[in-house]
Structure 1
Amino acid sequence: MTTTVVRARNRVREVGAFGVVGLAGYLTDVAVFNLLRYAGDPGLLEDRPLTAKVISVAVAMVVTYLGNRQWTWRGRSTHTVRREVALFVLMNGIGMLIAVGCLAFSHYVLGLDSALADNISANVVGLSLGTLFRFWAYRRFVFPEVDGLRE
């Protein structure tokens, strides 16, 4: 096979694995967010949507780090584990700020504060934009290709 075909196949595998790991993280994020906001009467963080979002992203981050480290980009990093985790947390923090920013704008600026509006702004728009950023950032900074060992 040509180098281009091999790279294309590896990129498709990488995007697919990232998507599966991301889906697990997404489901974790949405479940934790909604449990914190709406489980019980009143929900534990019913009146604190941003706090609920930060906590849900933190829990999902553990899921996605393990999935990406062990599956999506196994064997790619040249960093120490400490540096890799620090970069992962930093990139997730930026991705989280994207989602929280969408939620804050929708909830507080536009006044769209229903459960549906909060979920659309945080878990559809915010997470979609954050996911695009994360794929690029993880691939570029957290799990870079090892020189001479391109996949």
Structure 2
Amino acid sequence: MLVLVSMALRVRDAVRGVWREAAKFGVVGALAFVVDNGGYNLLVFGLPGGTQGGVMRSAPVRASVVATAAAALFSWAGNRYWTYRHQHRENMTRELALFLSVNVVGVAITAGTVFASRHLLGLESMGSDNAARVLGWALATLFRFFTYRRYVFVAP
């Protein structure tokens, strides 16, 4: 009986730890989303109510790259110093390289769902694109969460 109680307590503690970690991961991800989309809109369209547009109004693709890169760096710092602050690597360069590699795969997952929707299923509406992107975002987020905790932010 004591073994069952002990196991139940260990499972409870593990679940609590994962939920806290997932909540922090979600907060960092939500803020990175704001940095990405807000940064893009500021770079291309400028401040709300402005008539001139942003400093990169004639280069939306480059603005997207800049905003996404800023969001990725923000996400790495947030996860390294908050979500996984007790388990990050000593070699920061290696950790950042692993982080960026995982994010490239995450982008491929999201793009892959749009590709599948368009080219395999033949769906071409705005609704199907957005549904595919949401599905891809959800799958990529799960992939990132588990790979960050297993391979990127691990103590040496």
**Shared topology, TM-score over 0.5?**
yes
Q: Contact 1:17 / 1:71 at 8 angstroms: preserved in 2?
A: yes
1:83 Cα deviation (Å)?
1.2
Which gives a bigger RCO, structure 1 or 2 (Cα 8 Å, sep 6+)? Answer: 1
Larger radius of gyration: 2
**Aligned match of 2:40 in 33, 44, 68?**
33
- 1:15-34 correspondence to structure 2 within 5 Å: 15-34=22-41
- SS at 2:27's partner residue? helix
Change (3 A) 1:97 1:141: same
Greater Cα shift, 76-85 or 36-45: 36-45
Q: Which runs of 5+ in 1 are unaligned?
A: none
1:31 Cα deviation (Å)?
1.4
In the alignment, which residue of structure 1 is the partner of 2:80? Answer: 69
Task: Please tell me the residue identity of whatever aligns with 1:44.
Answer: S
- 1:125-136 correspondence to structure 2 within 5 Å: 125-136=135-146
RMSD in angstroms over aligned alpha carbons?
A: 3.5
- 1:1-150 correspondence to structure 2 within 5 Å: 2-39=9-46, 40=53, 43-46=57-60, 48=61, 51-78=62-89, 80-101=91-112, 120=130, 124-144=134-154, 146=155
Change (3 A) 1:78 1:36: closer
In structure 2, how many angstroms separate the alpha carbons of the residues matched to 1:34 and 1:103?
22
Q: Contact 2:107 / 2:140 at 8 angstroms: preserved in 1?
A: yes
Greater Cα shift, 10-19 or 103-112: 103-112
